[in-house]
């Protein structure tokens, strides 16, 4: 029996090779090619993906579907195949080559053309035979014709070793705007100095490479030359200008073009029909878009006052209004203008920091400072000090000279009012209010000027209530007169601020460790006790120095704890860990996918969880086997989550989107979720709504 096994071994190896997921190479002196498959067999699948794999000798090239000024694309004859109903070949994005003044489009070194196969009978083996006619060029061009084959069994279907190679080149196929991060905003025919040109404006969520390209396919006879490319300073906008030539008498207007925007291995395709020649592209459309976004930013900043993440600031607002109830209108006006100035100053700082980080190539987003442990610790100290101030443990007194000058100007607390505005801005940034996400997304995908203008509009929106009181100081007189009730209100609001400090420490415990949060919490408790014990209006310098050192120690204590290197992704029974690959996999299987991007520091996210995503009302929806729920936790910095958000033009959270067979590009949900909105999007994405 042992000898019989050795005799059969070669036959078994030959049989296994006959059913392999890669066919034999067909070779010549300049290239070789073969058929490969992503799966070992059919296993009842109605369709599967294969690939035509080329390896080219150094310096040799083959052609894209539109070869350019010379050459021709490959063609495949499948007529000798068995059990094959259809085979659709796809073209990865090509490169532009110039030879003797001619522009051609194609591939060098290696390329895989993905092929979508559909067997006639999924229960039978699939035998592929491809007669491939193709052209290879270096300084000379040589046509070739080769036959390659591949047989896939019907009784197996696991992933093949070549699946990764096929996926690599499938990722280089022209994709949607959301997947590629590329878009074409305006394409039109222009006439200047009796010469026709095609002008196009393109945008990218990430900076373009140094050589983006625009490939144009049109009716026979029309020729589009090499484009002139002009990149914006931030690299996010590219403008293309291509000369157009046509035979005498052939109209150019009315022609339908297929345009492929190429940036490295990224590609985006769209079709357009040319209208009458117009003037060259101007700035009017960009200006109109910017004005609309500025309006949304103003409204988003105003709505931000009503968001739950700004609730801790209400204590400062309310106490300020009450304290001004009996003041002179001029005093009220100056104080509230100072608060508005604090808000605007803080937004200018945020804009400056965002521009600097973006210029340096770092990932930026709304509220991302709450991903930094040092920032959380510092904010916990500041909030605790504000609470101690409301408890009456200490008063912040300016030096006598500054105080005298301030009293001549307003009678009280300009510096404190300014600080209140800055503090309100810091605590407001973890939230993404309606209209805010659109405005911030637009800003962070543009240049420095747009970022600055939009952040200023956001600041004006957040400051509008203060500006309203400054314009009509008598609004402050409508509040109740001061009395003993204010003492109890101060205590209540101080407790609310301590709750904010506890929330900040809870986020810190997730980012760093529970030990770090407990250590800082203990230092802050000691700080409160010491302040409450001393209660000096003008304490000795030693006490001031000791308290300052204690606060600094609380912040620097974070450095003693190394944060975990891996991102923590919040999970519940119905929620899976988020990956972009899982979205494509689930939608490809006909499922609907609900994505929740959240963070412990995002209060609006927590409100959405309590009200909708983790409520009993949504349990039946999440238990549906046709629905896959994915959750991404952005509590700590995560480049993949930041890139995913940027691909949708978003830079802040909460962010929720639903994908499905009827909505492969996703349906965006509002920042404040409702159960009805989630259900409606799920039904639409699944194709259950007419």
**Residues 498, 387 contacting (CB under 8 angstroms):** yes
Residue 565 in any domain: the answer is no
Q: How far is CA 688 from CA 182, 612, 662, 682, in A?
A: 30, 22, 9, 9
> CATH number of the domain that 133 lies in?
2.60.40
Q: Are residues 317 and 350 in the same domain?
A: yes
Q: Are residues 206 and 274 in the same domain?
A: yes
Mean pLDDT of 110-130: 95
Residue 503 in any domain: the answer is yes
User: Minimal CA–CA distance to 329: which of 445, 469, 494, 190?
Assistant: 469
> What average pLDDT is seen over the chain?
76
Measure the CA–CA gap between 568 and 608, rounded to whole angstroms.
Answer: 19
User: Minimal CA–CA distance to 41: which of 68, 69, 17, 19?
Assistant: 19
Q: Are residues 113 and 245 in the same domain?
A: no
The pLDDT of residue 343 is above 60: yes
pLDDT of the residue at 644? 81
Domain boundary among 537, 560, 583: 560
3-state SS class at 327: coil
The pLDDT of residue 412 is above 50: no
Angle at CA of residue 414, ends 410 and 415, nearest 5°: 155
pLDDT of the residue at 671? 77
**Residues 217, 66 contacting (CB under 8 angstroms):** yes
- 537-580 residue pLDDT tens: 555 556 656 666 766 666 666 555 544 444 444 445 678 888 88
Sign for the CA dihedral angle at 55, 153, 584, 510 comes to negative
Q: Are residues 442 and 392 in the same domain?
A: yes
pLDDT of the residue at 187? 87
pLDDT of the residue at 402? 36
DSSP annotation of 255 reads -
- Residues in Cβ contact with 46 at an 8 Å cutoff, skipping those fewer than 6 apart: 118, 119, 122
Q: Are residues 183 and 163 in the same domain?
A: no
Under the phi-then-psi rule, with left for phi > 0, alpha for psi from -120 to 50, and beta for the rest, what region is 86? beta
**Of 110 and 470, which is predicted with more confidence?**
110
**Of 110 and 488, which is predicted with more confidence?**
110
**Residues 434, 298 contacting (CB under 8 angstroms):** no
Measure the CA–CA gap between 636 and 570, rounded to whole angstroms.
Answer: 12
Q: Are residues 364 and 446 in the same domain?
A: yes
Burial letters for 154-171: b for 16+ Cβ neighbours within 10 Å, e otherwise? beebeebebbebbbebbe
- Lowest model confidence (mean pLDDT) among 39-53, 170-184, 249-263, 521-535: 521-535
- Lowest model confidence (mean pLDDT) among 47-61, 377-391, 467-481: 467-481
Residue 9 in any domain: the answer is no
Residue 456's domain comprises: 288-560
Helices (H), 360-413: 373-390, 400-409
- Lowest model confidence (mean pLDDT) among 230-234, 465-469, 572-576: 572-576
pLDDT of the residue at 360? 53
Domain boundary among 282, 317, 352: 282
> CATH number of the domain that 630 lies in?
3.40.30.10
Domain boundary among 135, 170, 205: 170
Q: Are residues 454 and 554 in the same domain?
A: yes
Number of domains within the chain: 4
User: Minimal CA–CA distance to 654: which of 627, 676, 632, 677?
Assistant: 632
The pLDDT of residue 429 is above 90: no
3-state helix, strand, coil in the chain (%, to 5): 45, 25, 30
Sheet holding 575-577, edge to edge: 575-577, 627-633, 592-598, 655-660, 663-668
pLDDT of the residue at 23? 93
Percentage of residues in the chain with pLDDT exceeding 70?
A: 69
Mean pLDDT of 353-362: 62
Helix axes 284-304 and 448-471, enclosed angle (nearest 10): 50
Measure the CA–CA gap between 239 and 186, rounded to whole angstroms.
Answer: 10
Q: Are residues 199 and 316 in the same domain?
A: no
Residue 3 in any domain: the answer is no
Q: Which two tokens stand for residue 676?
A: 């009805």
- Lowest model confidence (mean pLDDT) among 162-176, 185-199, 260-274, 294-308: 294-308
- 249-293 residue pLDDT tens: 788 888 899 999 999 889 999 998 888 776 554 444 445 466 777
Q: Whole-model pTM?
A: 0.44
């Amino acid at each position: 029996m042992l000898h019989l096994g050795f005799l059969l071994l070669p036959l078994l190896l030959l049989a296994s090779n006959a059913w392999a997921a890669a066919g034999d190479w067909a070779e010549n002196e300049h290239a070789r090619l073969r058929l490969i498959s992503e799966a070992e067999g059919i296993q009842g699948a109605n369709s599967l993906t294969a690939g035509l794999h080329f390896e080219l000798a150094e310096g040799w090239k083959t052609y894209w579907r539109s070869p350019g000024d010379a050459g021709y694309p490959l063609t495949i004859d499948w007529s000798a195949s068995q059990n094959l109903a259809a085979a659709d070949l796809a073209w990865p994005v090509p490169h532009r080559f110039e030879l003797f003044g001619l522009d051609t489009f194609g591939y060098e070194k290696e390329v895989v053309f993905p092929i979508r196969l559909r067997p006639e009978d999924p229960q039978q083996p699939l035998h592929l035979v491809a007669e491939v006619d193709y052209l290879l060029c270096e300084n000379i061009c040589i046509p070739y014709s080769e036959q390659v084959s591949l047989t896939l069994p019907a009784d197996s279907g696991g992933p093949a070793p070549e699946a990764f190679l096929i996926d690599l080149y499938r990722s280089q196929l022209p994709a949607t705007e959301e997947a590629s991060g590329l878009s074409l905003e305006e394409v039109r025919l222009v006439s200047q100095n009796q010469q026709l040109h095609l002008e196009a404006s393109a945008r990218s969520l990430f900076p373009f490479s140094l050589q983006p390209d625009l490939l144009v396919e049109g009716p026979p006879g029309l020729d589009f030359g090499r484009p002139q490319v002009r990149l914006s300073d931030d690299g996010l906008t590219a403008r293309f200008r291509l000369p157009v030539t046509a035979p005498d008498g052939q109209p150019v207007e009315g022609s339908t073009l297929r345009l492929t925007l190429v940036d490295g291995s990224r590609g985006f395709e769209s079709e357009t029909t040319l209208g009458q020649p117009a003037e060259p592209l101007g700035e009017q459309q960009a200006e109109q878009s910017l004005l609309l976004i500025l309006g949304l930013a103003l409204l988003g900043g105003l709505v931000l006052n009503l968001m739950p993440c700004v609730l801790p600031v209400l204590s400062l607002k309310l106490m300020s209004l009450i304290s001004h109830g009996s003041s002179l209108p001029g005093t009220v006006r100056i104080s509230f203008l100072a608060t508005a100035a604090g808000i605007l100053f803080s937004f200018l700082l945020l804009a400056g920091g965002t521009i600097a980080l973006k210029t340096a190539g770092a990932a930026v987003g709304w509220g991302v400072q709450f991903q930094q442990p040092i920032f959380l610790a510092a904010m916990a100290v500041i909030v605790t000090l504000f609470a101690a101030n409301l408890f009456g443990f200490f008063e912040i007194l300016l030096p006598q000279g500054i105080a005298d000058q301030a009293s001549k100007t307003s009678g009280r607390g300009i510096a404190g009012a300014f600080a209140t505005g800055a503090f309100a801005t810091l605590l407001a940034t973890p939230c993404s209010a309606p209209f805010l996400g659109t405005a911030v997304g637009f800003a962070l995908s543009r240049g420095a000027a747009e970022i600055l203008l939009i952040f200023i509009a956001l600041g004006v929106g957040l400051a509008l209530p203060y500006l309203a009181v400054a314009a009509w100081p008598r609004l402050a007189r409508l509040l109740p007169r001061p009395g003993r009730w204010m003492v109890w209100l101060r205590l209540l609001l101080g407790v609310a601020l301590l709750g904010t400090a506890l929330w900040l420490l809870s986020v810190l415990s997730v980012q760093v460790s529970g030990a770090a949060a407990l250590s800082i919490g203990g230092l802050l408790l000691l700080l409160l006790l010491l302040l409450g014990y001393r209660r000096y209006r003008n304490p000795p310098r030693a006490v001031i120095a000791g308290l300052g050192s204690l606060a600094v120690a609380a912040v620097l204590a974070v450095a003693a704890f190394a944060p975990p290197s891996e991102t923590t992704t919040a999970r519940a029974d119905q929620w899976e860990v988020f990956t972009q690959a899982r979205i494509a996999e689930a939608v490809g299987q006909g499922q609907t996918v609900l994505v929740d991007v959240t963070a412990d520091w995002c209060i609006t996210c927590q409100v959405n969880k309590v009200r909708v995503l983790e409520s009993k009302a949504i349990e039946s929806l999440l238990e549906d086997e046709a629905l896959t729920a994915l959750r991404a936790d952005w509590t700590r910095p995560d480049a993949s989550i930041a890139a995913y958000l940027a691909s949708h033009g978003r830079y802040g959270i909460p962010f929720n989107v639903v994908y499905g067979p009827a909505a492969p590009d996703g349906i965006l949900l509002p920042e404040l979720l409702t159960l009805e909105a989630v259900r409606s999007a799920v039904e639409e994405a699944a194709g259950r709504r007419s």
